[in-house]
Amino acid sequence: MPQLDLYQVDAFSAAPFGGNPAAVVPLQAWLPDATLQRIAAENNLSETAYVVRRGDVHELRWFTPAVEVDLCGHATLATAWVLFEQLGAGEEVLRFATRSGELQVRRAGDGLAMDFPAKRPVAEAIPDGLLRALGLPAARALYRTDDYLVVIDDESLIDGLAPDFAALAAFDVRGVAVTAPSTRHDFVSRWFGPRVGVNEDPVTGSAHTSLAPYWGQRLGKTVLSAEQGGARKGQLRCELRDNGRVVISGQAALYLRGTIFL
């Protein structure tokens, strides 16, 4: 019976039970896409990452329980952590070949730093029904990349959000981030993605490729601290670069190691 190693890592957290859990499955060679999707559905985490080494580069793919996605930050962080801390990777910089181009991850103090392409949000009118689906009385503005960024002024509303996920799934975007300025960090947010099979992602690294450029411009900063989540939270550091990239840093912790039997 074929067996695969599985690691479940809490990304953007210094200890288990925080941040965002991701499954990481190292492979010797690619399995059929249908098998990858079935494993992700069985894991029932927001992301399962699969990694195959090809010389100096690691091919990396990410699956929600429903679909394969183009970019996932927390599962990239989790994969890099497994390669560095569990599988003995000796490189100074890990290079990943992905559907979003080459991504690089390096050690940064007691965490890891990921180099991602930044996305510039574009202002749009708030579509009918969006605020109602989120349970918000009003919003300051709305911006769009592959997500909607709904900007509000009161961070105290963030924790209490209880969206209508069926209504949110009708909007033709990957997900919806609700974000506000914070007294504890530069900004806070929550991210909802029922359209891609993830009602709420506790900490979404890829969403910060849009959130960081917005808040950097608004606050006049190139280095920002952020926190995402409701009952479960994680912390990120975002550094905007002049080359159109954003470096997203955080810690990770191993929750479990197991075996998949196929």
- pLDDT for 40-95, tens place per residue? 999 999 999 999 999 999 999 999 999 999 999 999 999 999 999 999 999 999 99
Parallel, antiparallel, or unpaired: how do β-strands 57-63 and 122-124 relate?
A: unpaired
pTM for the model: 0.90
- Give me the active site residues, please: 47
pLDDT of residue 24 exceeding 90, the answer is yes
- pLDDT for 93-110, tens place per residue? 999 999 999 999 999 999
pLDDT of residue 80: 98
For residues 23-39, give the mean pLDDT.
98
For residues 235-243, give the mean pLDDT.
96
In terms of C-beta density within 10 A (0-12 exposed, 13-18 middle, 19 or more buried), how is residue 164 classed? middle
- pLDDT for 181-215, tens place per residue? 999 999 999 999 999 989 999 999 999 999 999 99
**Inter-residue contact 232 to 218 (CB < 8 Å):** no
- pLDDT for 135-159, tens place per residue? 999 999 999 999 999 999 999 999 9
Round to whole Å and give the CA distance between 105 and 113: 5
| DSSP string over 24-53 | EEEESSPPPHHHHHHHHHHHTSS-EEEEEE
pLDDT of residue 1 exceeding 90, the answer is no
Round to whole Å and give the CA distance between 153 and 139: 8
In sequence order, the β-bridge partners of residue 254 are 9
